Amino acid sequence: MGRKTEASVTWSQALAWRLERQLLDPVAARPVAEVVRRLGVVLSMDESLAELAVRTRCSTSRPGELAQALADGEVIKAFTFRGSMHYLCPEEGGMYLAIRSAGRQWELKSWVDYYRLTASDWLGFRAAVRAALSDGPLTVAELGQALSRNRAYRHLKPVFDEGAGTLIKPLSWQGDLSFGPPRDGKRTLQRLDSNPRWRGIPDLEEAGPRAVLAYFRTYGPATIDNLHYWLGEGLSAGRKRLDSWFAGLADRLVAVDVEGSVGYVAREDIDALVGTRPSEAVRFLPGHDQWVMGPGTKDVHVTPPARRDLMTRKANPVIAGGVVRGTWARADDEITVSWLDERRRPRKAIEQETRRLAAILDRDLRLTLAL
């Protein structure tokens, strides 16, 4: 699978180019939907972290813009990577759902036995779900109540009363529903095809190569191991499928030497990568931000091994030049930055980023620097 490298760059260059691709340096005026589109997905299990992940990549933004983008259909929310809820853009999000649904987990014997839905039952069940949602969003319990009017699905009402998280996932993967704006603090579900921006679920062999190329364009230069982490471990794409999609992009992806490691970028990005200068930008990111999760916490070039445990436990990373150098935490109006690197702390840059975070949160923040 190895290819001859066509250029050489340093890790400082590689990470600086990735910072630009992920809208972290420079930060410009972009709508929140564009940020979601560029990142591919934004984890939404914690809405405050999701909003910060998006707004920290916008030079101008307002509280609630991400929630409003969801209400307006400019972004969608669905179960995707690692079984978690993520924001996606409706125009391209279907490619990730196509990959996630390829494993057809709902046909596993454990699923069939527990939900009493065979593989042949799913077409009718999916149609019944879409019909129930035709008049607008419903809470999970309301959807269960509507379905229970059908004798075939009456036994599922207790499942919906308890949240139905696992059962909803394949309905999300197959494009039947997504999450709508919350109502009275409760999650709602809505038909995906009611969104005029929704482009549907593409064929798997179309979706796979598109998703591979999108990954290298935003998270490159990346290794094959990074790719397998992202789409393999993340979406259960399967090693053979991923290797096949990667091989089929031989004319679109370029191998580059990054200080002895072989990474890949899209051919149209190679000149920009080679011409990139290292960045000294300091950024405060939320826990489980895509900057760290995209390559995976095992990627030592972004997350040094001594800091990996902090990142897996959802600590808020402080990155400098793209590398996790510390963490930050906020309590009321005080922000504490713990610098964990042997390099000298860039105090001015940290103070500047504190002011930027204060503007995002619209409150005065007092900075405390801790060793």
The three-point CA angle 269-275-281 to 5° equals 100
Q: What is the pLDDT of residues 345-368, one digit of tens each?
A: 999 999 999 999 999 999 999 999
| 309 occurs within a structural domain | yes
| 319 occurs within a structural domain | yes
Q: What is the pLDDT of residues 52-61, one digit of tens each?
A: 999 999 999 9
Given this model, what pLDDT does residue 3 score?
Answer: 79
Whole-number Å distance between alpha carbons of 1 and 196 = 40
330 burial via Cβ count (<10 Å: 0-12, 13-18, 19+): middle
What is the pTM (predicted TM-score) of this model?
0.95
| 100 occurs within a structural domain | no
Q: How confident is the model at residue 114 (pLDDT cuts 50, 70, 90)?
A: very high
The radius of gyration of the chain from alpha carbons, rounded to an integer in Å, stands at 22
**Do 97 and 175 form a contact (C-beta atoms < 8 A)?**
yes
Task: Quote the DSSP letter at residue 196.
Answer: T
Given this model, what pLDDT does residue 170 score?
Answer: 96
High-pLDDT (> 70) share of the chain, %: 99
Given this model, what pLDDT does residue 147 score?
Answer: 97
Encoding tokens for residue 290? 């895509």
The three-point CA angle 33-39-43 to 5° equals 85
Q: What is the pLDDT of residues 133-181, one digit of tens each?
A: 999 999 999 999 999 999 999 999 999 999 988 999 999 999 999 999 9
| 360 occurs within a structural domain | yes
High-pLDDT (> 90) share of the chain, %: 96
| 11 occurs within a structural domain | no
Answer whether residue 256 shows pLDDT above 80. yes
| 349 occurs within a structural domain | yes
Whole-number Å distance between alpha carbons of 249 and 252 = 5
Q: How confident is the model at residue 260 (pLDDT cuts 50, 70, 90)?
A: very high
Answer whether residue 1 shows pLDDT above 60. no
Residue 330 is which amino acid? Answer: R
Distances in whole angstroms, Cα of residue 129 to Cα of each of 132, 148, 159, 332: 5, 11, 14, 43
**Do 284 and 316 form a contact (C-beta atoms < 8 A)?**
yes
The three-point CA angle 270-272-275 to 5° equals 110
Q: What is the pLDDT of residues 71-98, one digit of tens each?
A: 999 999 999 999 999 999 999 999 999 9
**Do 99 and 233 form a contact (C-beta atoms < 8 A)?**
no
| 140 occurs within a structural domain | no
Answer whether residue 249 shows pLDDT above 60. yes
Q: What is the pLDDT of residues 306-359, one digit of tens each?
A: 999 999 999 999 999 999 999 999 999 999 999 999 888 999 999 999 999 999
Average pLDDT, the chain: 96
The total domain count for the chain is 1
Q: What is the pLDDT of residues 198-246, one digit of tens each?
A: 999 999 999 999 999 999 999 999 999 999 999 999 999 999 999 999 9
Residues 344-371: b if buried by 16+ CB within 10 A, e if exposed:
ebbeeebeebbebbbebeeeebebeeee
| 4 occurs within a structural domain | no
Q: Where are the beta strands (DSSP E) in 184-314?
A: 186-191, 253-258, 261-266, 282-284
**Do 98 and 203 form a contact (C-beta atoms < 8 A)?**
yes
Between helix 204-219 and helix 239-247 the angle, nearest 10°, is 70
Given this model, what pLDDT does residue 165 score?
Answer: 86
Mean pLDDT calculated for residue range 265-278: 97
What range defines the domain where residue 343 resides? 282-370
Given this model, what pLDDT does residue 343 score?
Answer: 85
Whole-number Å distance between alpha carbons of 127 and 123 = 6
Whole-number Å distance between alpha carbons of 24 and 130 = 39
Residue 132 is which amino acid? Answer: A
Given this model, what pLDDT does residue 371 score?
Answer: 73
